[in-house]
Structures are given as C-alpha cells and as structure tokens.
Amino acid sequence: MLFFTHYFMIRILRDNPQVIILDATYGTQKYGLPLFTIIVIARVVIAIPVAHYFMERVAENNFTWALEVLQDLYFKYEIELPRVIFHDRDRACINVLHAIFSTTSTMLCRWHMDTDVRVWLRVAF
C-alpha cells in the first residue's frame, strides 16, 4: 500500500475543504493495482487531485486505511471537515466512508448518475 501527497496539496485541501471527490480506478496501469484518488474542488470549477493511494486490492480494510489517513490529515493540519463527499458506486468505499466521515453528507458523483440514467433509458426505450 502506498499513500502519497505533498505539503502543497495539503495547503490546497486546507484552502478548499468543503467538497471532495473520491475516485477509485481499476486496472488502468501496468501493475494492475487499484488507484484511489482524493480530489478537491477549488474555486467551484477546478478539480485538483490532492492525494493518491495504490491499493493491493479493492477491499474495505484498504479503504478504511486510506480514509483514516485522510481524516488524520484533516486533524493534524486543523482543516475543516468536508461538507460533502462525492464517490463512485463502490460499496466497500461507501461503507467505510459512512463510518469514518459520519457527519459529512455523501453523494454519488454526477458521471455515475448520468451513466445510470443512460442505461435506464436504453432499457426503457
């Protein structure tokens, strides 16, 4: 497991703590390791990745570790907790997210919502 960020990225997170996006990408690089990316929305329209985490495999314990590290960053650098966290449909991530950031609202990201609507429309019509 490898979680990495940079102090400059933590400063961006501190300046833009309200909305974050969690994105898990699978099988897109040479080594086949799942990549979990933490993204902040800066100035309403700019998405900036602030941390990355290469997982051994997709499992709740790996998401738990990554989100606990993220939570530790919030506390260590005295960053206001996010108001909303957008996520994909990964059930393991959602379960852990609700446990660790229990006071933060969560929402399915728009891309996944659009994809679900398109699938439904294809089936319905």
DSSP string, 92-110: HHHHHHHHHSTTSEEEE-H
pTM for the full predicted model: 0.82
CATH number at residue 30: 3.30.420
Alpha helices in the chain (DSSP H): 7-15, 60-76, 91-100, 110-124
User: Count of domains in the chain?
Assistant: 1
Query: Which tens digits make up the pLDDT trace of 10-50?
Result: 999 999 999 999 988 876 667 788 888 999 988 777 889 99
Reported as a single tens digit per residue, the pLDDT across 51-80 is 999 888 888 999 999 999 999 999 999 999
- Parent domain of 10: 2-124
| Of 111 and 82, the one with more pLDDT | 82
- Separation between Cα atoms, residue 54 and residue 70, nearest integer Å: 14
